[in-house]
């Protein structure tokens, strides 16, 4: 139809589905964790506000889970439909974590079902809270296992390659690859960070609109604190990810940094425009920073992109993805740090609308950072689907009509995306927090 | 028993479980939509909602389990089926996605919109139909090879009587399974009107079920004589299935032991499903792919089986808890707890 090349269309469809799923997946990892915190605070402090936060968030969670589940199911099938050659190969080596992931889903789905429909069935509220722990663990495990698969694609191991044939498979070693520790932890930390900042953004927004102040203030303070903790964790682990890349996937780091010549004391270049002959204009240059990121040593040598044959060089656009992620990471770190200091010192500028707008911006920015991080990690693996073993071209389906299917999914995601927003808005509008508070505090022990 | 057989048995069992729980879910959606159209909504909606709300996500995981499992145990099937199923499977995914998300949207967001209920019911017809096409394809005769890559012949597929008889069987089975189950469930809730209505549906769909199933065996004789002959060798399994069907119908007819009727119905389908599966052995895709040449390496097979056993140790108690809280809890079922 409009694009006949099945490889290109398979790539576009994969990007589309994963990028859409990752929104919901991130929420699926981070939100149950935040609900646990609120619910626990509520029980400990005997504070209706926190209990209500947990309860209202849990209601919204159902909607995002539903879309997370159906888009996840779409990826699961699409991997085989779009990359049949890859899945045939991968099935032999890396099917184990995918299979484990299904059990994580099962676990999460069962307990989420129970948690949601049993708010009023336990006499002891703590027992009900316990039900949420398997949900949070299941969400984190889903992310864990799928990221293990992705780590394998970046640094395959656990088998031997003899004359182009895979032999001597070890499914466990295939899960424990060199890129796994940094990848898994970075993905988890950034998911928690993103959801915390998203809740902070909602609270800040409601505060500006003059909603129930003490409820949203509490929510804002807790969320910013947790966001700050995970922002630090993300940055530290991100630094380790950089060191991993320098050691095992130097071409990706070099492309992300527009670092062409191997050199010592390498500077880090942020943003900028690539001119002719690979010279960078208008960039922000931080001396020694790349050497530090890559090897923790300002004098260290960092391998440049020119060392690699042209057909194995990743697209240079990942520079922008990388910078987007780092800039946003630093910005959120600073934003939450200033907020916490200001709270501690009783400075009031953080309660002004100007600052609150920045916090509101934090939600879309954090999600953008997640997307940018994945784009950089996945596009930076090009041309490989399984680094060093199989390229994207070899893996893709040859079936016709991938473009038609692509259009179908664009439509589907449009419907799901708009549906999510409309339903969530309606849900929280229908019952404002003021109404909920009045309803639950009327001497009625419904929630306890 | 070889690892291949263990693998395919586990997968077939999970596919069977999905067929049962999925059918209940799909059929319920159809009945719900039908009752809204005929203004009998007040009779059914409550019963259906109470059962469906907590379990739809779990139903979906059975499906995901089968897909991931078959790629794990039989990686070559990813290559064969992945290459040919792009269009039919994408249609199924899109329908599944619309169904799952609109279920959530409608139950938690905009209640009672007729259009949603209607669409929800329609997906309950189209999803089983589109999924059942995979069974047809695996009978062989629709796939050819171009440059070593399998290609699906859509014209042959869509004009084959086998395709359509399998589609019809899948639809009738969905409605029958669902109505037998919901008869029992409505009876448990003490809702006489809903019980009577569901019982009527169960009886209505029972005869077309047997006709459609018989029709497929007949069609197979023209289409895949090998398969037909191995079905004939397993005639006793299908005979047992038939007897169980008659017993189910009898209980429903006599309005007795609706719970036992559900079990009989489940065993009826189990015999038929496994009879079909065993007679299909050893092919995954006739005649190109068998479970032996598509099998994974031994190390992976063993680790998958170990993980499966560990996973079940975790799952079975959790599933039991879910069923106890929602399916067997008297107060919840009767709607006294919301
Ligand atoms: C909120 C999101 C977010 C934020 C603020 C950051 N990251 Fe990140 N980053 C991700 C979200 C992310 C991610 C989406 O989770 C990625 C994509 C692939 C992966 O493993 O994690 C990722 C990948 C990723 C990689 C590539 C790993 C690979 O390809 O194997 C590196 C080198 C970094 N990050 C480094 C950093 C640094 C130095 C940060 C400094 C603050 C940083 N990240 C902040
Ligand atoms: C089994 C696991 C996976 C497979 C088979 C897979 C495969 C692929 C392929 C083939 C591409 C297209 C490459 C390209 O167009 O450059 C891609 C891109 C992408 N993948 Fe992965 N991937 C997997 C895991 C993940 C995971 C866990 C994520 C996290 C969300 C992810 C995120 C992305 C993103 C964001 C892109 C878009 C990159 C681009 O613009 O090309 N992938 N993936
Ligand atoms: C190749 C990439 C991926 C595949 C094949 C995949 C597959 C799936 C599937 C099949 C489901 C639905 C499970 C169900 O039926 O309950 C799902 C849901 C989920 N996925 Fe993904 N996924 C991928 C990427 C990711 C990533 C990168 C994350 C986390 C960072 C993630 C986290 C989750 C979570 C938490 C859920 C549970 C649903 C929810 O709570 O929203 N997935 N995924």
- The C-alpha of B337 sits at a distance from chain A's nearest C-alpha, in angstroms, of 7
Distance A6 CA to ligand 3 centre (A): 25
Mutation choice for B interface testing from A99, A116, A123 by most B CBs within 10 A: A99
Looking at ligand 2, which residue's alpha carbon is closest to its atom 24?
A150
Q: Which residue has the tokens 């071209």?
A: A393
CB contact under 8 A, A171 and B303: yes
The pLDDT tens digits of the residues spanning B164-174 come to 888 888 899 89
Instruction: Check if the beta carbon of residue B107 is closer than 8 Å to that of residue B53.
Output: yes
Put simply, the answer to whether A80 touches B64 (Cβ < 8 Å) is no
- Residue A16 contacts B where some CB pair is shorter than 8 Å: no
* pLDDT single digits (tens) A80-114: 888 888 888 888 888 888 888 888 888 888 888 78
Instruction: Please say if the pLDDT value at position A303 is more than 50.
Output: yes
- Which residues on neighbouring strands pair with residue A165, listed in sequence order? A162
Asked if omega into A383 is within 30° of 0 (cis), the reply is: yes
Q: Of A173-177, B237-241, B305-309, give the lowest mean pLDDT range.
A: A173-177
B338 part of a folded domain: no
Which DSSP string corresponds to B141-177? SSEEEETTEEEE-HHHHHH-HHHHHHHHHHHHHHHHH
Nearest CA in chain B to A88: B75
In this structure, chain B runs to a length of 338
Q: Does A145 touch chain B (CB under 8 A)?
A: no
A-B contacts (CB, under 8 Å):
218
Provide, as residue numbers in chain B, all residues whose Cβ is less than 8 Å from the Cβ of A87. 71, 75, 78-79, 82
Closest chain B residue to A77, measured at CA: B67
Determine, for residues B87 and A405 on separate chains, whether the beta-carbon distance falls below 8 Å: yes
Query: CB distance B307–A100 less than 8 Å?
Result: yes
**CA-based end-to-end distance of chain A:** 59
pLDDT bracket for residue A197 (50, 70, 90): very high
Model pLDDT for residues A198-242, shown as the tens digit of each residue: 998 888 888 877 766 777 888 888 888 899 999 999 988 988 888
Residues 6 or more apart whose CB falls under 8 angstroms from that of A371 comprise A19, A22
| pLDDT value at B330 more than 80 | no
Residue A305 falls within a domain, yes or no?
Answer: no
Q: Is the pLDDT of residue B334 over 90?
A: no
Which helix (H) or strand (E) segment holds residue A72: the answer is helix A48-82
* Ranges A33-37, A131-135, B51-55, B242-246: which has the least confidence: B51-55
- Complex ipTM, two decimals? 0.81
Left, alpha or beta for A265 (phi > 0: left; psi -120 to 50: alpha)?
Answer: left
Task: Name every chain A residue with its beta carbon within 8 A of the beta carbon of B14.
Answer: none
Taking 70 as the threshold, does the pLDDT of residue B239 lie above it? yes
CA separation for the pair B319, B247 (Å, rounded): 29
**Is residue B178 within 8 Å of residue B24, measured between CB atoms?**
yes
- How does pLDDT run across A3-31, given as a tens digit for each residue? 667 777 888 888 889 999 999 999 989 99
Weakest-pLDDT range from A156-165, A311-320, B111-120: B111-120
Q: Do the Cβ atoms of A84 and B83 come within 8 Å?
A: yes
A143 close to ligand 3 (CB < 6 Angstrom): yes
Report phi then psi at A384, rounded to 5: -85, 145
Q: Are A151 and A183 in contact (CB under 8 A)?
A: yes
Instruction: Determine how many CB atoms are found less than 10 A away from the CB of residue A245.
Output: 23
Residue at A45 is within a domain:
yes
CA distance A308 to A304: 8
Q: Which residues from B are below 8 Å from A65, CB to CB? A: 57, 104
Token pair in block for residue A226: 């947790």
Task: Give the residue from A156, A45, A187, A77 showing the smallest Cα distance to A409.
Answer: A77
pLDDT of residue A442: 47
**CB contact (8 A) between residue B109 and residue A426:** yes
Phi first, then psi, for residue A264 (nearest 5°) are -90, 165
Determine which of A266-270, B239-243, B275-279 has the lowest per-residue pLDDT on average: A266-270
Does the pLDDT of residue B107 top 70, yes or no?
no
Contacts 24+ apart (CB under 8 A), A4-12: A4/A400, A4/A403, A6/A396, A6/A397, A6/A398, A6/A399, A6/A400, A6/A402, A7/A392, A7/A393, A7/A396, A9/A402, A9/A403, A9/A405, A9/A406, A10/A82, A10/A83, A10/A396, A10/A397, A10/A402, A11/A392, A11/A396, A12/A406
Contact criterion met (CB < 8 Å) for A87 and B83 = no
pLDDT digits (tens, 9 = 90+) for B65-101: 888 888 888 888 878 887 888 888 888 888 888 888 7
User: Which residues numbered 405-424 in A keep a CB inside 8 Å of some CB on B?
Assistant: 405, 408-409, 412, 415-416, 419-420, 422-424
Asked if residue B164 belongs to a domain, the reply is yes
Q: A358 to each of A26, A214, A222, A322, A362, how far by Cα in Å? A: 21, 20, 17, 22, 6
Instruction: Report the residue of chain A nearest B304, measured CA to CA.
Output: A96
Ligand 2 pocket member A93 (CB < 6 A): no
> Which value, to the nearest 10 degrees, does the dihedral of the CA atoms of residues B77, B80, B82, B88 take?
-110
Q: What tokens appear for B60 in the block? A: 């979906």
Chain A nearest CA to B306, separation (Å): 10
Query: Across the interface, do B94 and A409 touch by the CB < 8 Å criterion?
Result: yes
**pLDDT for residue A187 is more than 90:** yes
Is residue B156 situated within a structural domain?
yes
State whether residue A215 sits within 8 Å of chain B by CB.
no
Q: Which of A82, A16, A9, A70 is nearest to A404 (CA)?
A: A9
Containing A154, the helix (H) or strand (E) segment is: helix A125-154
Average pLDDT value for residue range B291-312: 79
What DSSP string runs through A205-242?
Answer: HHHHTT--HHHHHHHHHHHHHHHHHHHHHHHHHHHHHH
Could you tell me where the beta strands, DSSP code E, fall in A154-193? 160-162, 165-167
Structural element, H or E, at residue A177: none
Greater confidence, A96 or A173?
Answer: A96
pLDDT at position A196: 92
Q: Give A431→chain B minimum CA distance, Å.
A: 11
Please list the residues that pair with A384 across neighbouring strands.
A391
Q: Is A176 on the interface with B (CB under 8 A)?
A: no
Residue A154 has pLDDT above 70, yes or no: yes
Residue A128 lies inside a defined structural domain of this protein? yes
CA–centroid distance, A15 to ligand 2, in Å, is 6
The tokens describing A445, both together, are: 């022990």
Given this model, what pLDDT does residue A286 score? 75
Least CB–CB distance from B101: residue in A66, A111, A408: A66
Compute the distance from residue A113 Cα to the ligand 3 centre, in Å. 17
Contact A113 B57 (CB under 8 A): yes
Strands A273-274 and A268-270: unpaired
Q: For residue A90, tell me if it sits in a domain.
A: yes
- The secondary structure of residue A308, as a DSSP letter, is S
pLDDT at B218 over 60: yes
Lowest mean pLDDT among A268-282, B136-150, B186-200: A268-282
- Return phi, psi of residue A91, to 5°: -55, -35
A206 assigned to some structural domain: no
Q: Per the domain annotation, does A408 fall within a domain? A: yes
Report yes or no on B58 lying in a domain: yes
A373 CA to centre of ligand 1 in angstroms? 5
Alpha helices in A346-440 (DSSP H): 353-379, 392-395, 402-430, 433-440
Give the model confidence (pLDDT) of A369-399 as tens digits: 999 999 888 888 878 887 777 777 777 777 7
A353: CA distance to ligand 2 center in Å?
A: 39
**Which residues 332-391 of A have a C-beta within 8 angstroms of B?**
none
Q: Count other C-beta atoms under 10 Å from residue A439's C-beta.
A: 13
Chain B: nearest CA to A99, how far in angstroms?
6
Spatial separation of the C-alpha atoms in residues B81 and B67, rounded to whole Å: 11
Report the nearest atom of ligand 1 relative to the CA of A252.
29
* A157, part of any domain: yes
Task: For residue A103, list chain B residues with Cβ-Cβ distance below 8 A.
Answer: 307, 311, 314-315
CA A317–ligand 3 middle distance (angstroms): 27
What are the counts of helices (DSSP H) followed by strands (DSSP E) for chain B? 14, 4
- Ligand closest to CA A148: 2
Residues 146-175 of A with CB under 8 A from B: 169-172
Residues 6 or more apart in contact with residue A435 via CB below 8 angstroms: none
* B90: containing domain: 3-333
CB contact under 8 A, B300 and A93: yes
Q: What is the count of structural domains for chain B?
A: 1
> Which atom of ligand 3 is nearest to A70's Cα?
12
3-class DSSP state for residue B289?
strand
Give me the pLDDT at residue B54, please: 59
- The residues, any chain, with a CB within 8 Å of residue A41's CB and separated by 6 or more, are A47, A50, A222
- What is the mean pLDDT of the segment spanning B190-195? 80
Count of domains in chain A? Answer: 1
- Cβ atoms of A132 and A32 within 8 Å: the answer is yes
Residue A377, ligand 1, Cβ within 6 A? yes
Could you tell me the residue range of the domain that residue A62 belongs to? 23-177+399-448
Distances (CA, A) of A270 to A261, A275, B25: 17, 15, 53
> Ligand 3 atom closest to Cα of A187?
30
Range ranked top by mean pLDDT from A140-144, A442-446, B259-263: A140-144
Ligand 1 in contact with A250 (CB < 6 A)?
no
Return the residue in B15, B52, B54, B284 with the most chain A beta carbons within 10 A, the one to mutate for interface testing: B54
For residue A54, tell me if it sits in a domain.
Answer: yes
Give B-chain residues touching A89 at CB under 8 angstroms: 75
For ligand 2, say whether the CB of A166 is within 6 Å of any of its atoms: no
């Amino acid at each position: 139809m409009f694009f006949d090349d099945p490889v290109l269309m398979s790539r576009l469809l994969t990007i589309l589905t994963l990028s859409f799923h990752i929104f919901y997946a991130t929420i699926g990892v981070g939100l149950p964790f935040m609900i646990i915190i609120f619910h626990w605070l509520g029980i400990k402090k005997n504070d209706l506000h926190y209990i209500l936060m947990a309860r209202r968030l849990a209601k919204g969670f159902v909607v995002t889970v539903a879309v997370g589940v159906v888009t996840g199911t779409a990826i699961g099938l699409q991997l085989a439909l779009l990359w049949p050659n890859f899945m045939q190969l991968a099935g032999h080596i890396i099917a184990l974590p995918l299979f484990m992931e299904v059990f994580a889903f099962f676990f999460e789905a069962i307990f989420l079902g129970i948690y949601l429909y049993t708010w009023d069935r336990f006499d002891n509220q703590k027992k009900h809270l316990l039900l949420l722990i398997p949900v949070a663990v299941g969400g984190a495990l889903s992310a864990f296992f799928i990221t293990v698969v992705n780590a394998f694609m970046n640094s395959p191991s656990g088998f031997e390659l003899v004359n182009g044939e895979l032999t001597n498979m070890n499914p466990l070693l295939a899960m424990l690859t060199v890129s796994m520790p940094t990848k898994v932890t970075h993905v988890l930390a950034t998911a928690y960070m993103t959801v915390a900042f998203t809740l902070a953004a909602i609270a800040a927004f409601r505060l500006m609109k003059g909603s129930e102040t003490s409820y949203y203030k509490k929510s804002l303070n807790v969320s910013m604190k947790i966001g700050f903790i995970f922002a630090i964790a993300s940055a530290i682990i991100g630094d380790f990810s950089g060191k991993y890349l320098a050691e095992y996937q130097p071409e990706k780091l070099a492309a992300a940094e527009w670092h062409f010549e191997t050199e010592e004391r390498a500077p880090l270049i942020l943003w900028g425009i690539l001119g002719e002959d690979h010279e960078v204009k208008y960039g922000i240059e931080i001396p020694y920073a790349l050497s530090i990121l890559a090897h923790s040593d300002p004098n260290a040598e960092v391998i440049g992109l020119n060392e690699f044959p042209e057909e194995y060089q990743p697209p240079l656009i990942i520079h922008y993805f990388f910078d987007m992620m780092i800039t946003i990471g630093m910005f959120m770190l600073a934003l939450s740090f200033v907020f916490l200091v200001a709270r501690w010192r009783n400075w009031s500028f953080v309660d002004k609308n100007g600052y609150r707008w920045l916090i509101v911006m934090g939600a879309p920015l954090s999600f953008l950072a997640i997307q940018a991080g994945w784009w950089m990690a996945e596009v930076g693996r090009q041309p490989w689907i399984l680094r060093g073993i199989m390229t994207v071209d070899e893996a893709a389906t040859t079936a016709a009509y991938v473009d038609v299917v692509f259009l179908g999914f664009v439509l589907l995601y449009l419907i799901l995306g708009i549906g999510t927003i409309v339903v969530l808005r309606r849900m929280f509008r229908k019952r404002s927090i003021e109404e909920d508070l009045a309803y639950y505090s009327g001497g009625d022990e419904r929630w306890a | 028993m070889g690892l291949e057989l263990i693998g395919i048995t586990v997968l077939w069992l999970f596919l069977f479980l999905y067929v049962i729980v999925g059918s209940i879910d799909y059929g319920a959606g159809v009945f719900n939509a039908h009752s809204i159209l005929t203004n009998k909504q007040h009779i059914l909606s409550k019963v259906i909602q109470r059962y469906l709300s907590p379990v739809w996500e779990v139903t979906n995981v059975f499906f995901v389990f089968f897909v991931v499992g078959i790629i794990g145990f039989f990686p070559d099937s990813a290559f064969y089926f992945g290459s040919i199923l792009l269009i039919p499977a994408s249609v199924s995914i899109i329908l599944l996605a619309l169904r799952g998300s609109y279920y959530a949207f409608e139950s938690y967001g905009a209640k009672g919109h007729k259009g949603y209920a209607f669409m929800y019911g329609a997906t309950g017809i189209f999803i089983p139909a589109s999924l059942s096409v995979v069974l047809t394809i695996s009978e062989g005769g629709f796939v050819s090879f171009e440059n070593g890559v399998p290609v699906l012949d859509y014209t042959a597929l869509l004009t084959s009587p086998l395709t359509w008889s399998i589609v019809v069987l899948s639809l009738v089975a969905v409605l029958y399974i669902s109505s037998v189950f919901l008869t029992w469930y409505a009876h448990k809730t003490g809702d006489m009107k809903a019980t009577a209505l569901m019982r009527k549906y169960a009886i209505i769909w029972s005869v077309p079920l047997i006709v459609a199933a018989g029709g497929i065996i007949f069609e197979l004789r023209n289409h895949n004589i090998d398969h037909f002959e191995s079905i004939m060798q397993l005639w006793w399994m299908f005979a047992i299935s038939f007897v169980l069907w008659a017993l189910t119908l009898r209980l429903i007819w006599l309005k007795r032991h609706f719970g036992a009727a559900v079990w009989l119905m489940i065993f009826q389908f189990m015999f038929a499903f496994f009879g079909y599966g065993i007679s299909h052995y050893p092919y995954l895709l006739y005649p190109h792919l068998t479970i032996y040449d598509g099998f994974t390496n031994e190390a992976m097979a063993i680790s998958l089986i170990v993980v499966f056993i560990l996973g079940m140790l975790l799952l079975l108690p959790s599933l039991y808890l879910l069923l106890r809280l929602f399916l067997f809890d008297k107060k919840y079922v009767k709607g006294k707890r919301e």
